[in-house]
């Protein structure tokens, strides 16, 4: 206990995610989790558990074809824990037991959710758990009407619950079998709309959802909510136009892929059939990802928005602002830091896979790396063909992508700031 108390919240969160992944791996290796006649290696189970906890969706084995109902249930629980966060789940269990929340627990949730203050943390966790239950319950009921037409009652219930959890948590894992994702339902407008709704609300973030419930008017929303909503809508619109222009898919398919690309991982069309232009657009959307405080990954929409605004302000020589509000200089500095660290991780991942898997094209490898880092879960079909070393690289990328490169870097750097100021000298840039 003494060792744990000495650790920073960032380190505890990282260790918590790692322990959940290892526990999930052990459960997926149990005989009761694996279908008869199927062979699952340790790396296969580790990859599946990491993908579920990191709400990514990349898979080396099909969940439906390889795991029993118990194993699929384990994957669903891992997705739920990964989406909500280990600390939020822990605080929720403490609340359910009727015990008090310690200061350490509040700090963990604050760090995990990227909240500025510990004030109101307990109310926030309660709201998050309640919202999750509501969205996933409604989603499961609506999905049931579609899946009941093709499956038995109990099977349809299981698929509906799993799909709702995976959609809201932006995981992109399905239990339809044969690694087909939602291709059989590409023309089902109802299921597409329900799935997109769950993905969008899960990707907006709990802060935005709570703000929307309180204000019910765009003008009254906080700056964060306005930035997230406007950026998300623009990305969905632009992505849809570009996909329709570059690929031979329907408008429904274009909109769905634009929504799903930014960390959900579901697909109604095979990514292997997409052109290089379409895959490149997908990479950009996957890299940007969802929003802060959400179940998705990527550098986040607010980071992307801040970077765009910073460029505009440099060109126009105006102060950094948006929606008649000034944006703090610290936000711009953090955005640049996140962008640089994320690009470094992606570049290292691409180089590593290029060395380990030379038989695949550069666009395939780049797509795989960005998908893993952005916890998007989309693949051109090479995931299951990767060697052990390649799979381990992807596992590391998924883990970094879920926690964030900035968070992982900060857990190792704990040095006090130096007050010394040095003589300023001009540096030529550009």
- Angle at alpha carbon of residue 148, lines to 147 and 149, rounded to 5°: 90
The residue with tokens 């290892």 is: 22
pLDDT the model gives residue 272: 83
C-beta separation of 341 from 348 below 8 A: no
pLDDT, position 96? 60
Query: What is the chain's pLDDT, residue by residue, as a tens digit (430 residues)?
Result: 555 555 656 666 777 788 889 999 999 999 999 998 888 999 999 999 999 988 888 888 889 889 999 999 999 999 988 887 655 665 555 556 555 666 655 665 655 555 555 566 677 777 888 888 899 999 999 999 999 998 999 999 999 999 999 999 888 888 888 888 888 898 899 999 999 999 998 888 888 888 888 887 788 888 888 888 999 999 999 999 999 999 989 999 999 999 988 888 888 888 888 899 999 999 999 999 888 777 777 888 888 998 888 888 878 777 877 888 888 888 888 888 888 888 999 999 999 999 999 999 999 999 999 999 988 888 888 888 888 999 999 999 988 888 776 666 665 555 555 556 677 666 666 6
Give the dihedral sign, CA 360/364/370/374.
Answer: negative
Helices (H) and strands (E) in the chain — how many of each?
A: 19, 2
Measure the CA–CA gap between 205 and 226, rounded to whole angstroms: 12
What's CA 26's distance to the chain center, in Å? 23
The Cα 307–Cα 255 span in angstroms is: 25
Q: What is the pTM of this model?
A: 0.85
Give pLDDT, residue 193: 93
Q: Is 97 helix (H, G, I), strand (E, B) or coil?
A: coil
């Amino acid at each position: 206990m003494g060792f744990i108390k000495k650790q920073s919240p960032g380190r505890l969160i990282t260790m918590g995610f790692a322990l959940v992944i290892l526990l999930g791996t052990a459960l997926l290796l149990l005989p009761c989790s694996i279908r008869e006649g199927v062979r699952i290696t340790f790396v296969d189970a580790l990859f599946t558990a990491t993908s579920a906890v990191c709400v990514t969706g990349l898979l080396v084995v099909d969940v439906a074809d390889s795991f029993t109902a118990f194993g699929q249930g384990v994957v669903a629980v891992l997705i739920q824990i990964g989406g909500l966060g280990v600390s939020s789940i822990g605080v929720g269990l403490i609340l359910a037991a009727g015990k008090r929340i310690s200061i350490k627990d509040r700090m963990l949730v604050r760090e995990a959710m990227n909240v500025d203050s510990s004030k109101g943390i307990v109310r926030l966790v309660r709201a998050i758990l309640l919202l999750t239950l509501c969205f996933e319950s409604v989603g499961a009921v609506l999905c049931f009407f579609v899946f009941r037409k093709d499956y038995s009652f109990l099977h349809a219930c299981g698929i509906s619950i799993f799909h709702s959890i995976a959609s809201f948590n932006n995981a992109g894992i399905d239990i339809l079998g044969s690694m087909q994702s939602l291709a059989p339902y590409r023309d089902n407008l109802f299921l597409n709309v329900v799935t997109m709704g769950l993905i969008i609300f899960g990707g907006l973030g709990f802060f935005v959802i709570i703000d929307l419930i309180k204000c019910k008017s765009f003008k009254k929303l906080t700056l964060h909510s306005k930035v997230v909503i406007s950026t998300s809508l623009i990305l969905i619109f632009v992505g849809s136009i570009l996909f329709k222009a570059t690929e031979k898919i329907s408008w429904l398919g274009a909109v769905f892929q634009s929504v799903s690309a930014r960390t959900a991982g579901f697909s109604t069309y095979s990514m292997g059939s997409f052109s290089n232009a379409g895959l490149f657009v997908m990479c950009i959307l996957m890299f940007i990802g969802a929003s802060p405080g959400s179940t998705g990954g990527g550098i986040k929409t607010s980071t992307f928005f801040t970077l765009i605004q910073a460029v505009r302000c440099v060109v126009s020589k105006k102060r950094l602002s948006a929606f008649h509000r000034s944006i703090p200089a610290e936000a711009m500095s953090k955005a640049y830091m996140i962008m640089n660290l994320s690009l470094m991780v992606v570049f290292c991942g691409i180089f590593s896979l290029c060395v380990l898997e030379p038989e695949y094209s550069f666009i395939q490898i780049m797509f795989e790396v960005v998908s893993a880092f952005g916890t998007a879960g989309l693949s051109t079909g090479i995931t299951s063909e990767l060697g052990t070393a390649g799979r381990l690289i992807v596992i590391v990328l998924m883990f970094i992508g879920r926690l964030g490169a900035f968070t992982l870097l900060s857990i190792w750097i704990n040095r006090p700031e130096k007050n010394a100021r040095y003589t300023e000298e001009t540096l030529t840039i550009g």
